[in-house]
Structure 1
Amino acid sequence: MTDIPADLTELFTRVDAPAPLAARAAARLGAGAAARLREDPWALLRVPGVTPAQADHFARAVLGEAARPDDPRRGRALVLSLLTEAARQGHTITPPEQVLTALERARVPDPRAAVEAALDEGEVLVVTEEPEFDEAAPEDEDLPEPEENLALTRWAVAEEAAGEGLLRLRLTASDLLDNATIKQARAGLPEDRSLALSAALRTGVTVWRGAPGDLAETALTLVRAAAGHGLRAAVVTPTERAAADLAEGADLPEGAVAGLHRLLEPQPDAGAAPGAVVFGRGEQDPLELDLAVVPDAAWLDVELCAVLVEALPDGAHLVLGGEPGALPPAGPGRILDDLEASETVPVVELEPAGPGGPLAALTAAVRGGELVAVEAPDREVVIVPAAGGAEAVHRAVQLVTDSIPRALGIPADEVQVVAPAAGGEAGATALNAALKARLNAGPGRFGGFDVGDRVVVAAPLAPAAVGEPGTVTGADAEGLRVAFAGGEATVAPADAARLRHGWAVPVALARGVRRPAVVAVLAEGGELSRPLVATAFGLALRHLSVVQAAGPALARAVRETGVPARRTRLARLVVG
């Protein structure tokens, strides 16, 4: 199923490069990958997972003695690699000094020339922030210098577009309903819900903070009230599966709950860059909406935020919700935190709707920095100790295939296993291998997949958003046929690498769908943190099993490891 051009296979065979790297290079660099790598072997650094040392080794194999540390292509590629790694950590900007220091460590003779070469290519920008002047400062005091940072053009442009779009929504907004109607819509609601509805109906951009269930219910209440008064309103979710679950029994007009991906109307575009999805909705063809509510907006990176706000017309209102201290998005940015820090939009805290149960109590405690024992008479929460990674995998398989279906009546296909990351002895990859062997054993005839395999979208596809779960229903020369919540789609062989087995999923990829039962496998050495654990626990609707193989490290991570800092510009950009 993996479509690797013959010339790329020949090149990698000739230089004795690992075979799996060829598939990743084809996916990232596109049809002309081989020619591009012969011309510039350091372009291999664009492929995820490739280190500078590996790229240098590849360049020596391709160029021989012509591969030198001072090659301008090497310096330019290293700059891009450093900024790409910063983006993977969530940063949209990086101080030049950090880049220059890293280039010196990589034995680049002239780091500043390497940065200039990257700037000349257009994939890197210098972004300048004018300082804020203190009007009370003495006239003879030296004025502060503008602050300069480096940024990948892709993320810099997206962050500026997001800032401009959010500012436009703020400035073009007016009350969506008159005072009397807003008062009527608020009647009988608790004070916090009343404030949330009022802010959303009066203000162009609003931030809500609260637990996932409270955010979702308040979003439905708002959209129901808005639609009842003739407004075009929608609840926007990360995935179609989440939209279908939320819409069930919600008593809303058809289409009033929708996944962002489908809402934006992805279009087939042969000219798009590898991995890019082109959307039909945007500035030239905006959505027909007066109000969009995203109850779980913590997953929005700056690029997705930019696409969303550009697709909203002047005068539309946007509500973005998220848990306090939520797990940041997989991509760069921190939209909710930056909006809150800008002090330009109302921020409404939603109190818990009720006492909740053991699941809510545990998740709230973790969110507050404590890992507590909770009473769970109906087995809403079960802690399963494990001595190490191998035992954790065994316990997880046992829970999914036997214990949870037998004791709680929740079928295996409604149980989601989550782990902090894909790798490791008890990571999502190892868990999927064990679960597939029990639930759908097969040789992986079609690019590693078999009919009946549970899958999840791990990188953007036109038919489905990142995090969308599905099931393989067939395969042929055209590709894999996958049943998603929004309908069946064919995933071309070249795009099959964008799917992963989905019985077990890294927490960051699972966050788009809440499940009746969740098995959280937490092993020592994983990327444990308070927001990650709170997010994992919050994915469970009825039952949570925690396979505890991390020992004291779990409580320590919940207590001490919060949201990592991210360098961003959005808080300044939305001020105008």
Structure 2
Amino acid sequence: MRAAEAAAGAIAAAPAPAPKPEPEPSAREGARAVADLFAEAGVPAPLAARAAARLGPEAAGRLRADPWRLLGVPGVRPPQADHFAKAVLGPDARPDDPRRGRALVLHLLTDAARGGHTVTPAADVLSALERAGVADPRRAVEAALDEAEVLPLTEEPEFDEEAFDEDAEPPEPEETLGPARWALAEEAAAEGFRRLTLTAAPLLADAAIKGLRDGLPEDHALALTAALRTGVSVVRGTPTDLAGAVVGIASAAAGQGVRTAVATPTDRASADVECGDEAIVTSLHRLLEPRDDPSAAPGAVVYGRGEEWPFDLDLVIVTDAAALDVELCAVLVEACPDGAHLVLCAEPDAPPPAGPGRPLDDLEASETVPVVALDAAPPTSPIGVLTEAVRAGDLTTVDAPGHEVVIVPAESPGEAVHRAVQLVTDSIPRALGIPVEDVQVVAPTTGGDAGVTALNTALKAALNPGPGQFGGMDSGDRVVVAAPLPHAALGETGVVTGGGPHGLDVEFPGGAAVIAPADASRLRHGWAVTVAQARGTRRPAVVAVLSPEGLSRPLVAAAFGLADRHLSVVQAAGPALARAVREETAPARRTRLARLVTQ
């Protein structure tokens, strides 16, 4: 199954050439039509850009025909969509309108996907529809199924041998529902893993592999052997240990003529990997060769590499593979040709991806591929000591004679923001000689009084005040890719260099790019980013602003591990921080990949 079919939303492999479509409204015309419609309906103007970006140039016509499509725009809740429907349809906007029920089904499933779930029990969906006032929940589900945006899925019950009673009735399979976008991507990823496993042959002769193993520690020798002999393997370890293993495997394989690539989360992260000239080192985004395809669905990134045009590679090593959601995972495995070997690397107990699914954890749970755990070398830096302690569930005090770790208490969110600005603009550059451009602020969440949005507002005022000349941005602003773009990977940061009617000029680590006006909403100010956006890309200095919201042990460990030379922790969470490190693991996710891989 092609990822183009599996990923109808954010990610897709490049489709075959299609007939030239009928002319559509331009992006600018479409945005203007949506703005006019929203003005008539009393909808806040800022929502217009998001609606146009999500629904495309014909958004206004689609919303007039079916106002509940507004629920497909991120951040819109059912009461808001109902209010909009009344403004557009008048008395014809009824709670039992089939369009409303259909949109609510997809909204509920999409909302669950934002929590990482690829499937939801049908009973939960029906109950939620009843609470939302839908008169016939089953009819609403059937309408959503007819639109093919939702798929019915059956989950077989787990067999519990101890609880089995020969006279008892076997449990019934659970009826679940999933958005087609992620359900099909999960199936494509599972199919790809099975294909790579079945078509793999050793990349080198046994004697050559044995020669490369000589002198290596046993754990690194096992990782190298798995990479060269099996189609798919997983390597877990601390960031330092993984970095050494990745370089060792890539250099050894490439030195023997194996066509090898190391794929990092961002272009900025790839600059930290040194494998010599024989192995390719680049971001996974760039390795997949994104294309600026005007025929792509709104919000989509089309990749050139895929089932029809796979990599010209024998070995692909992915760093921070725990960040892969099901869509990107599906595109990756489909881009690997038959016989290629795929090595997925991640820290132990790494946070799950920002998008739906947990492919790496599910693959490991399936017990269908070798998993090598690297022996953790004793950390040699205060940052490493603290990070490893957090990973073990202990928030400890570390000795940092060179101010490698600094804890800054904050009594309130407002004080936390003030302290963060002070650290970035003065304390860290002055005391440690680390320039502002090498300091990254991270926080668990976007919203809240000490979240990423509030931090960026304060940091812009201090570092680059301006009127937001180019759609809220000014020259000199640091930005982050917060939604898929062809020009740069999610989480990549860059600097605005100019702008105008043509779009926004941004200098990314991989080069200059022009972001079209219709796509500019996918950028956010990036002096502060979420931990999910920052993961996998280390910085010389990190300021972690921690308030009680969104904390967990994996997230805190990931935040601390981003710092290379210096870590400032703005502690605004009080006792909740130690409690989260001690007790809070990543929330569970409902997914199917582990079962699908074994079928």
Residue 29 in structure 1 maps to residue 26 in structure 2 = no
Q: Which residue of the partner structure matches residue 174 of structure 2?
A: 147
Deviates more, 1:505-514 or 1:284-293: 505-514
Distance 1:393 1:373 in 2: 23
**The one of 74, 95, 105 aligned to 1:48:** 74
**The one of 428, 452, 458 aligned to 1:428:** 452
Distance 1:367 1:497 in 2: 35
Q: Which residue of the partner structure matches residue 563 of structure 2?
A: 540
Instruction: Kindly indicate whether the alpha-carbon contact (under 8 Å) linking 2:30 and 2:60 is maintained by their aligned counterparts in 1.
Output: no
Instruction: Kindly indicate whether the alpha-carbon contact (under 8 Å) linking 2:284 and 2:318 is maintained by their aligned counterparts in 1.
Output: no
Distance 1:352 1:278 in 2: 39
Q: Which residue of the partner structure matches residue 4 of structure 2?
A: none
Q: Which residue of the partner structure matches residue 139 of structure 2?
A: 113
CA deviations on 1:335-370 (whole Å, 9 max, x unpaired) are 121111111111111122343211111111111111
**The one of 274, 278, 296 aligned to 2:302:** 278
Distance 2:346 2:487 in 1: 26
Letter in 2 for 1:418: V
Letter in 2 for 1:546: V
CA deviations on 1:463-506 (whole Å, 9 max, x unpaired) are 11111111111212211111111110100011110001111111
Distance 1:295 1:26 in 2: 34
Q: Which residue of the partner structure matches residue 212 of structure 2?
A: 185
Q: Where in structure 2 are the equivalents of 1:132-531 lying within 5 Å? A: 142-246=169-273, 250-253=274-277, 256-524=280-548, 526-531=549-554
Deviates more, 1:543-552 or 1:134-143: 134-143
Distance 1:255 1:274 in 2: 35
Distance 2:222 2:98 in 1: 57
CA deviations on 1:304-349 (whole Å, 9 max, x unpaired) are 0000000000111111111222111011111121111111111111
Q: Which residue of the partner structure matches residue 128 of structure 1?
A: 154
Note closer, same or farther for the CA distance 1:176–1:125 as it changes in structure 2 (3 Å cut).
same
Instruction: Kindly indicate whether the alpha-carbon contact (under 8 Å) linking 1:160 and 1:570 is maintained by their aligned counterparts in 2.
Output: yes
Deviation of residue 251 (structure 1)? Answer: 4.2
Instruction: Kindly indicate whether the alpha-carbon contact (under 8 Å) linking 1:84 and 1:152 is maintained by their aligned counterparts in 2.
Output: yes
Deviates more, 1:128-137 or 1:111-120: 128-137
Note closer, same or farther for the CA distance 1:3–1:196 as it changes in structure 2 (3 Å cut).
farther
Letter in 2 for 1:238: P
Letter in 1 for 2:240: G
Note closer, same or farther for the CA distance 1:550–1:142 as it changes in structure 2 (3 Å cut).
closer
SS at match of 2:487: coil
SS at match of 1:28: helix
Q: Where in structure 2 are the equivalents of 1:550-569 lying within 5 Å? A: 550-569=573-592
Give the fraction of aligned pairs with identical amino acids, expressed as a percent.
69
- Structure 2, unmatched stretches of 5+, are 1-26
Note closer, same or farther for the CA distance 1:134–1:90 as it changes in structure 2 (3 Å cut).
closer
Deviation of residue 418 (structure 1)? Answer: 0.5
Deviation of residue 148 (structure 1)? Answer: 2.6
SS at match of 2:322: coil
Q: Which residue of the partner structure matches residue 87 of structure 1?
A: 113
Deviation of residue 142 (structure 1)? Answer: 4.6
CA deviations on 1:244-292 (whole Å, 9 max, x unpaired) are 222xxx2422661110111111112111111101111111110011111
Distance 1:191 1:40 in 2: 61
CA deviations on 1:393-427 (whole Å, 9 max, x unpaired) are 11111111111111111101000000111111111
**TM-score (ref. length: structure 1):** 0.96
Q: Which residue of the partner structure matches residue 597 of structure 2?
A: 574
- Structure 1, unmatched stretches of 5+, are none
Letter in 2 for 1:222: I
Residue 7 in structure 1 maps to residue 42 in structure 2 = no
Instruction: Kindly indicate whether the alpha-carbon contact (under 8 Å) linking 1:4 and 1:22 is maintained by their aligned counterparts in 2.
Output: no
Instruction: Kindly indicate whether the alpha-carbon contact (under 8 Å) linking 2:259 and 2:279 is maintained by their aligned counterparts in 1.
Output: no
CA deviations on 1:74-93 (whole Å, 9 max, x unpaired) are 00000000000010000011
Distance 1:514 1:134 in 2: 44
SS at match of 2:380: coil
Distance 1:119 1:257 in 2: 43
Deviation of residue 143 (structure 1)? Answer: 4.9
Note closer, same or farther for the CA distance 1:559–1:285 as it changes in structure 2 (3 Å cut).
same
Distance 2:552 2:468 in 1: 34
